[in-house]
Structure 1
Amino acid sequence: MLSTDSLSRLEHVWNSTWKLLSDDILHRQRKLLKSPDLQLTEDQIKNLTLLEIQKILQQNNSSLTRYETMPFPDEESLSVVNNCLILDEQSYDQQTERAEFEKLFRSITSEQKTIFDIITKAVQQNKGGVFFIYGHGGTGETYLWKTLSSAIRSQGNIVLNVASSGIASLLLSGGRTAHLRFHISINLNEDSSCVMERGSDEAELLEKTKLIIWDEAPMTHKHAFQALDKSCKDVLKSKSLFGGKVVVFGGDFRQILPVIQKGSRQQIVNATLCSSYIWHHCRVLRLTKNLRLTVSQQSADIEDTKNFSKWLLYIGEGKVGGTNDGTAKIDIPDDLLIEQCDDPILKLIQFVYPNILNNSQDPTYFQQRGFLAPTNEVVHEINDRLLELFHGDPVEYLSSDSVSKSDYIDGNVDPTLYSTEILNGLKISGLPNHKLILKVGVPVMLLRNIDQKKGLCNGTRLQVVSLGTHVIVVTVLSGTNTDERISIPRVALTPSDKSIAFTFTKRQYPLSVD
C-alpha cells in the first residue's frame, strides 16, 4: 500500500495496525537468538516491524524515508534488539526492581548508606571511577551489591554482577563468573587481554553498562583485572581506566588470595590486586559492622559468636602467637576440639549429620550442613565413611582416561610410558576420581561450571535422586534453583595442573560426594 501510494493518512493506519503487523515478531526474534524466554518492549517490537517494512520497500526500490509522516526504525535500538546479551540484562522489570530497592534500602546501615551514595553519585556523573569495598564476612557486602543493582536497574540501566568463583556468583542477581562474562583467558600474563572485539555483542554490552560489580576480587590474579582494563580501553575507545566505567571490587584480603602453584609468599602477594597499577586508582571503602551480631543481639550465645568472630579476624590479621622459626601459632578454642575417642571421623559425621537416615529426605537438612576439610585425602576419608551410612546398593562409575592424540603425534609423549592403569590412578585436584561410587540420597558436589544461569557451577551442592546408565539425576540443594531436578551427563574434563607434562583428558561425571 505504501509503494502504490494508496494511503492518505499513513500515521493513522500505522498506529491502528502495527500490533497486527507485528504478531510474529517476538516469536521470530526468539527463534533467531535461540532464546525462548526473550522479552521485548513495545518500542523494540515496533522497530523490528518497521525494519521488515523497510526491507520490503527496498526490494521495490523505495524506502520509509519517502514518507514524512511514517516513523523510521531506530538503528541503535535495532542493534540492541539483535544483541541477546543486552536484552538479557534489560529484561528486569523496573517496577519490581524499584520495589526490591525500597525494601532493601529501608534496612541499610549507615556504613552501607555512605558507600551506596558515593557509588551511585559516580554512576550518575558518568565519569568513571574504581572502588574497593573492604569487608570481612558478615558485614553485608552481598546486601550492598543487591541494593546497588536494584537501584540502577529500576532506572532501566545495566549492572554487570560478576564474581571470581561460580559459587559466589550465585549470590548475585544475574551473577556470572568474571571469566565467562568478559571472556578472560584461563592462562594469563601481563600482556593478556579479553577475547573481545570492537562492535561485538560483548563490546556493545560494555558500552551500555553503567556499573560493574566484581565480588571476591582478592582471589583473582591481577593479570585478569589488567586484561579487562586493556579491553575496555580498546573497545570503548577511551584512555580512562576501564574505559571510563564505574567498577566496584569487593572482598577480604584475609581470605583466599590468588593460587600460585608452588609459589612463595612474595609471588602470591605480587599476584594480588594490591600489586597492580589499578590499585593506585582504587578508592578503598570499608565495612566494619558485623551484621550477624547486631541482628541477633538477643541471642543466648551472642557472646560466643562475638568471641569467635574476633578470633577469626585475629587470625586473618596475623595477631596470633609466633614461633622461633617465624611461623604462626594458632590456639584452637577448646569448644572447637573433638574429644578423644576411638573413631573421631564417625563422631564428626554424627555431629554434622545427626540422624542422617531419618532426615535424608528433607531438602533443608543438607542445605544447612557440610564439611570443610583442609586436604583432598581428608575429604575422601570422610566421604567413604559417610557413604557407608546410606542404605541401598552402591553404583560404581568408571572414567575413561586418555592422553591427547596431539601429544603422541608431536612426539611430546611416548605412548608406552602411560598405560591406562597409570592414568586411572592419577588423583588431580578439581577432577573426580577414576572410580566414582554413589548411592541414592547421597549429597554430592558439582565440580564444573555447567550452566550458571540455572545455578549449576563448581561448588553447587546436589542430592542424588536416581543413578542411570548414561545420566545421574540430582536435585539442587543450594543456589537460586533449589529443588529443581537436573540430569548430569558424563563430560570430558581436562586438568589445569601445569605439573602434568602432557594433555590429559578424563571422561567422567563431574561429581564428588559432599
Structure 2
Amino acid sequence: MAKVIRDTKAIIVDEATMAHKTVFEAIDRTLQDIMGVKKPMGGIPTLLSGDFRQILPVVKNGTRANIVNASLKQSDLWTNIFVKKPNNKYEGLSDWRFRISFSSLLLRIGDGRLPYIEVPDTILIPEELGTCVENLEELKERVYPDLNLNGKHPDWLAERAIVSPLNFNVNKLNNWLMTDFPGQEKLYKSIDTTVDEDDAVKYPTEFLNSIELSGMPSHLLKVKVGCPIMILRSLEPPKTINGTRCVVTRLHNNLIEAMITFGAYKGQTVLIPIISLMPSDSELPFAFRRLQFPLLYHVTELYSLLVWKVSACLV
C-alpha cells in the first residue's frame, strides 16, 4: 500500500465536508511519513469536493459548537487549502415540469435567498417545486395517491418516496403507510439474544425486542406482497448489496422472494433469508444478536438522497 501511495499522482476526496477534521489530519501525517516530505498531504496534490452548506460532520449527541469544531475549516490544514468555486450554475432541464433543479434549490437555501414563514424554522418552498401540506394525511395523499390501487405497480412505487431527517420519523411513517398498502400482511418476529450469556439476566428478551437501531431491522416486520423494501446487507454481491431496492413478490415462513427495481439487475428475482445481525455502531452497554430478515420498508427514507421531484412538503 505504501508503494501505491508513493506512485500516486493525485488524490480526490468527494463529500469532504462530511469527514471529521482529525481524519484529514491523520491522513496528512501518514502521507508525510510515507513520502518523506514535510509538506501538506506529503506533497501529493489533493482535491477536496463538497459544500459546507449541505452536510457537516456527524457528532453523536454533539452541540452546534461540537459540530463546528469538527469541521475541516477548524483544522490547521485549512490555511493550506485553496477554495475554488464553480462558475457554472445548475439549471433545470427543459423536459421537466419544474423550472429549477434540486441542486439549484440547495444553493438558494444556503445563500438565504428563500423566504421564511417563521424565522428561522420553516422555509417557504417555491411554487415551481410544488405546494405545502398541513398534515401527514395530506402528505400521504399527495405523494401516494390511491395507494391501495397504485401500490400494485412497482414502477409507480419506485419513482416516489417521502424523505425525513430522523430515523424515528422514517419508522413511524413507514409503519403507518404499510397499513394502507394493498394485500394481506405476514408478520415476522425476530429472535434476539445477548452475545454474553451473563447479560441475559440483566437484559430480558422483551427489552431486546424493543431496541430500534439505525441499519437494523425491527423486531416485528409486517410485510405484504408488492410492498417496496430495501436490503440492509450484502447477500450476493454485486447483485444484492446493502441498499438494493426491491419489491416483495412472494412470502414464505423462512424466506422472502423479491424483485429488484433499480440498477443493472432490475427485474431479477432475489431470495432474502433470515440471517444473524449485529449492530455495527451502537452505544448500548452490551452486544446482542437479532435473527431477522435484513430489510426495511422503503416508502419513507432518510434525507440522504438527491430527490429531484418534490411534489409536497409538510409545514
TM-score normalised per structure 2: 0.76
Partner of 1:423: 208
Maintained 8 Å contact 1:395/1:439: yes
2:279 equivalent to 1:485: no
- Which digits, 9 at most, give the CA deviation of each residue in 1:32-69, with x for residues without a partner? xxxxxxxxxxxxxxxxxxxxxxxxxxxxxxxxxxxxxx
Q: Secondary structure at the match of 1:386?
A: helix
Q: Which consecutive unaligned segments of at least 5 residues does structure 1 have?
A: 1-201
Identity rate of aligned residues, in percent?
32
Maintained 8 Å contact 2:213/2:279: no
2:184 equivalent to 1:379: no
Partner of 2:67: 268
Partner of 1:285: 84
Separation in 1, partners of 2:215, 2:62: 19
Give the structure with the higher percent helix: 1
Partner of 1:227: 26
How far off is 1:485 after superposition? Answer: 3.4
Give the structure with the higher percent strand: 2
2:244 equivalent to 1:467: no
Alignment of 1:12-91 (within 5 A): none
Q: Secondary structure at the match of 1:351?
A: helix
Deviates more, 1:446-455 or 1:370-379: 446-455
Alignment of 1:156-235 (within 5 A): 202-235=1-34
Separation in 2, partners of 1:361, 1:279: 52
Partner of 1:332: 124
Partner of 1:192: none
Separation in 2, partners of 1:488, 1:231: 42
2:298 equivalent to 1:507: no
How far off is 1:224 after superposition? Answer: 2.6
- Which amino acid is the alignment partner of residue 267 of structure 1? N
Name the count of aligned residue pairs.
294
Separation in 2, partners of 1:478, 1:216: 24
- Which amino acid is the alignment partner of residue 286 of structure 1? K
Q: Which has the larger radius of gyration?
A: 1
Partner of 1:444: 229
Separation in 2, partners of 1:451, 1:223: 35
Partner of 1:316: 110
TM-score normalised per structure 1: 0.49
- Which amino acid is the alignment partner of residue 131 of structure 2? L
CA distance 1:445–1:279, shift in 2 (3 Å): farther
Q: Secondary structure at the match of 1:423?
A: helix
- Which amino acid is the alignment partner of residue 441 of structure 1? G
Separation in 2, partners of 1:467, 1:439: 8
CA distance 1:310–1:244, shift in 2 (3 Å): closer
- Which amino acid is the alignment partner of residue 122 of structure 2? I
Q: Which consecutive unaligned segments of at least 5 residues does structure 2 have?
A: 299-315
Maintained 8 Å contact 1:442/1:463: yes
CA distance 1:331–1:486, shift in 2 (3 Å): same
Separation in 1, partners of 2:188, 2:140: 25
CA distance 1:236–1:468, shift in 2 (3 Å): farther
Separation in 1, partners of 2:6, 2:272: 37
How far off is 1:496 after superposition? Answer: 1.6
Separation in 2, partners of 1:430, 1:392: 26
- Which amino acid is the alignment partner of residue 62 of structure 2? G
How far off is 1:219 after superposition? Answer: 1.6
Larger RCO of the pair (alpha carbons < 8 Å, separation 6+) = 2
Separation in 1, partners of 2:6, 2:291: 40
Maintained 8 Å contact 1:432/1:510: yes
Partner of 2:306: none
How far off is 1:370 after superposition? Answer: 0.7
How far off is 1:255 after superposition? Answer: 1.5
Partner of 1:248: 47
Alignment of 1:289-304 (within 5 A): 289-293=88-92, 295-296=93-94, 301-302=98-99
Separation in 2, partners of 1:446, 1:280: 43
Separation in 1, partners of 2:30, 2:260: 36
CA distance 1:373–1:271, shift in 2 (3 Å): same
Separation in 2, partners of 1:448, 1:464: 16
Q: Secondary structure at the match of 2:282?
A: coil
CA RMSD after TM alignment: 3.5
- Which amino acid is the alignment partner of residue 365 of structure 1? W
Separation in 2, partners of 1:494, 1:309: 33
CA distance 1:370–1:300, shift in 2 (3 Å): closer
CA distance 1:311–1:248, shift in 2 (3 Å): closer
How far off is 1:280 after superposition? Answer: 2.7
CA distance 1:456–1:321, shift in 2 (3 Å): same
2:143 equivalent to 1:352: yes
